[in-house]
Amino acid sequence: MGVAGASGAGMPSGLANDGRSAETAVASGVVEGQGGVAIGWSGAASRALPVEIWVLVGASFVIAVGFGLVAPVLPQFARGFGVGVAAASAIVSAFALMRLLFAPVSGRLVQRLGERSVYLGGLLIVAVSTGASAFAQSYWQLLVLRSAGGVGSTMFTVSSLALVIRMSPPAQRGRVSGLWSTSFLIGSVSGPLVGGALAGLGLRAPFLIYAAALLLATAVVYVNLRHSTLAAPEPVGGLRLMSFREGLARSEYRAVLLSNFANGAAVFGVRMALVPLLVVEVLHQQPGMAGVTLTVFAAGNVAVLFASGRLSDRFGRKPFLIGGSLICAAGTAGLGLATNLPWLLVTSFVAGLGSGMFTPAQQAAVADVIGPKARGGPVLAGFQMAADLGTVIGPVAVGAVAQHFSYGLALALTGAVLAVAAAIWALVPEPLHRRGVESKVEAIADSPPAYTYGPDDAERLVDAPDSQDNNYASH
C-alpha cells in the first residue's frame, strides 16, 4: 500500500491526492514501497520538479522571446501611421495601463474559473490581438489592438504565477521562482537578437511571428496540462479563497507590495527610460551602447537568479530581499555618478546582481503568504499591480527630477526607494515558515539509511510531535 492507499487508514488528505498535492510534492523523499512508505536520504536532495512546471517555464521563455521581438519595432511601426513621438509612446503606455487596470478582474477570474482556463484564454487574446496588429491600417486600430493585448497579458501573468505557486513544492518555491524568472529574462534578451536577424522582413513580420509562437505555446500548454491532476482546478471547497484584504492584513504582504513597487519603478521603469538617455546625453556615446548597458544588467541578473532562488529556500527570503535590494540600490545610484562607459557598465552589472538576488525571493514570498492550501488571485493581482504602478509612475516622476535637476539626483532617489524597501523587509517577519509535513519529511530525508513504514507509521510520522521525529530518523 502506498501513500495514496494509506489515506483510507487515516492519513491526512493532503498526502493522498494521487501523490500530486503540494505537500506530497514537497515530500518527494516519500516513495511507494511494498506494503509501506519508504523514506530515504536522497529525498530532499533529489526532488524533481513536476513536468507541468517545466511546461510553464518553457512557455514563459517563448512569450518573453516574442515580446522582445515586438517591443523594439512597435514605436517605429506606430510612427509609420504619421503620428508624433508622444502618440507612438502612448501605444506602449496603453498596453501597460490595461495591464494595471485589468489586474483586479484577472484575479477574480482566477478565483472563479481556475488558473488554467484564464491562462490559456489570456494567451489566446494576446496571440489574436498581436497577429491582428500586423494588419492594422490606422494608428487607432493599433492602439485598440495593443490595449486588448494588455488585457490578455495580465490574464496570463496573474494566472500563470498562481498556477506555478499552486503546483510548486513549498520547499522549492524559491528554486521555481528563480527558474521562472531566468527563463523569462533569457527570453527577453534573446528576443531583440532574433528581431535583429529578421529585420529584413519588415516591421509587420515580428507581430505575425509572435502570434504564431503564442499559438504554439498555447497548444503545448493545453496538451500537457489538460489531463494533469496537478494543474486541474480544485473542486468547490477544495481550496480556501484568499482575498486582497486578507493578504493586506499581513505585514509580509505589505512589504512585498512596496518592494515590488520599487522593483517596477527602478528596474522596469527608470532603468529602461533613463539609462538610454544617460548614455547618449551625458556620456555622449552611440545609442547602441544603451543596449549594451541593458544587456550587462541582464547578465548580472542571470548570474544569480537561479542560485538565489534555491538558496532562499534554505536560508529564508529576507536575506536576499534585504541584501538584493541594497545592492540594486547601490548600483542604481551609482549609474547616476558615471562619468565614463566602464563605470556605467560596472554599476549596471551590480544593479543587475541585486535585482537577480531579490526577484525570485520576492515571488516566493508571495507564494509563502498565500500558502499551498489557498487560491489567492486577488493577492497575486495586487502584487502585479504594484510593479505596474511603479513602472508607470517611476519614469514620469524620476524623469522630471532628471530634467529639472540632474540624472545623478534622479537615480539616487530611485536607489533610495529600493533602500526603503530593504528597510521595511528588515522589520517584518520571515515569510518562509518550515513546519508540518514539509519540515518533518526533510528531517527524515537527512538521514542516510532508508526505512520502510507501513500506513500506520506514515500517519504517525505526519502527526507525531517534534520530540518523536528523532526516533523515526534514527532507523
Chain centre distance of CA 70: 21
Provide the pLDDT confidence category of residue 448 given band limits of 50, 70 and 90: very low
| Beta-sheet pairing, 374-375 with 36-39 | unpaired
Instruction: Encode pLDDT of 248-260 as tens digits.
Output: 899 999 999 999 9
Q: What is the mean pLDDT of the chain?
A: 75
Question: CA–CA separation, 317 vs 425, rounded Å?
Answer: 10
Strand order in the sheet with 36-39: 30-33, 36-39, 451-453
Please, what is the angle between helix 51-70 and helix 139-167, to 10°? 160
The pLDDT of residue 140:
92
336: amino acid identity, one letter: G
Length, in residues, of the chain: 475
Chain centre distance of CA 9: 39
| 299 in Cβ contact with 349 (< 8 Å) | yes
Q: Does 76 have pLDDT greater than 80?
A: no
Per-residue cell: 332: 542604481
Per-residue cell: 396: 514620469
| 211 in Cβ contact with 130 (< 8 Å) | yes
Question: CA–CA separation, 264 vs 269, rounded Å?
Answer: 6
For the four alpha carbons of 65, 126, 168 and 384, in that order, the dihedral sign comes to: positive
Provide the pLDDT confidence category of residue 411 given band limits of 50, 70 and 90: very high
The pLDDT of residue 192:
67
Per-residue cell: 376: 489567492
pTM for this entry: 0.66
- φ and ψ at 370, to 5 degrees? -75, -45
Of residues 329 and 458, which shows the higher confidence score? Answer: 329
